[in-house]
Amino acid sequence: MSELVFVKLGGSLITDKAKPLCARREVIASCAGAIAQALSGGTQLLLGHGSGSFGHPLAARYSTRRGVRSPSEWFGFAAVAHAARLLNVLVIGALLEQGVPAFPIPASALAIARGGELRSLDCRPLQEAWEAGLLPVTYGDVAFDDEWGGTIISTDQLFAFLAPRLRPHRIVLATDTDGVFEADPHRFPGAKRYQEIRAGECQAVLRQIGAASGPDVTGGMADKVRRMCELVRSMPGLRVQILSGHVPHVLAAAIMGRATEAGTTIVA
Ligand code: IPE
């Protein structure tokens, strides 16, 4: 049996977060190349991607993350879903260009949330996609919510929900920075990188790291670190690696489990 790996291409990596609806097409293409390389090496993948400057600005304008009630908020819900899907179309297109049979799995169609957390998601379409030899591609999306009407579900939430059910060998989160830093390395170039975060030290790390740049309704790096620490605590064999997606051969090596020094690793 080949190893199962969850891979996320972060919104800060594949879009320009400072410019609404601005995709970094050349980055998407190079990441698609890395994914094609890892797949040809026999790794089984679930790919997810963030929304960056597609979903986040609209989600912030309609405060979709905190619930959806009025007709104008439901309009926002539909608009956020559309923006998230537009980016997904670009990612899928880049993968198809590489000869990868990428297939969209939108959380908005399969997931139900409660109070902003994922409550149920039908895994069957994922299993069917793998059996058919397709690469399932999910993404941060809107979801109906039993308590709040609607909300936003991030890729990190999707991975945290799916990991105990599908038992991946590792999770690779490709971002715009080479891992987790004590401060935003774009603003503070001397900021120190964490090479490894032990889930038990999570609180101290969370106190240290900076807030996201640009609108981020799903909590940015801090929320990612918190969720991944919780996850590895409940699945002690799991390794989560957060690294830059800008160097395709390093990304491919990380997906295949061969770039263990790159970025930041979160372990139990
Ligand atoms: C956010 O998803 C989804 C929307 C705002 C629609 P993510 O949390 O996975 O995306 P990024 O990586 O922060 O952009």
State in Å: Cα 98 to ligand 1 middle: 24
Residue closest to 242 by CA, chosen among 223, 224, 217: 224
Residue for token pair 């999570």: 202
State in Å: Cα 125 to ligand 1 middle: 22
pLDDT in tens, 8-58: 999 999 999 999 999 999 999 999 999 999 999 999 999 999 999 999 999
Ligand 1 atom nearest residue 140's Cα = 2
Does ligand 1 have an atom closer than 6 angstroms to the CB of 140? yes
Statement: residue 226 has pLDDT above 60:
yes
Residue 42: left if φ>0, alpha if ψ -120 to 50, beta else—which one? Answer: left
What is the residue with the minimal CA distance to atom 2 of ligand 1? Answer: 140
Task: Quote the tokens at residue 69.
Answer: 């009630």
Which DSSP state fits 199?
G
Question: Which residue among 15, 22, 51, 228 is best mutated to probe the pocket of ligand 1, counting the most ligand atoms within 8 A of its Cβ?
Answer: 51
Domains (ranges, CATH) in the chain?
4-51+92-101+123-138+155-267 (3.40.1160.10)
What is the residue with the minimal CA distance to atom 1 of ligand 1? Answer: 140
pLDDT in tens, 163-210: 999 999 999 999 999 999 998 888 888 889 999 999 999 999 998 886
d(CA 91, CA 258): 24
pLDDT in tens, 49-93: 999 999 999 999 999 999 999 999 999 999 999 999 999 999 999
State in Å: Cα 50 to ligand 1 middle: 4
d(CA 37, CA 27): 15
Distances (CA, A) of 103 to 21, 93, 94, 134: 22, 10, 12, 6
d(CA 256, CA 231): 21
State in Å: Cα 206 to ligand 1 middle: 19
d(CA 84, CA 55): 5
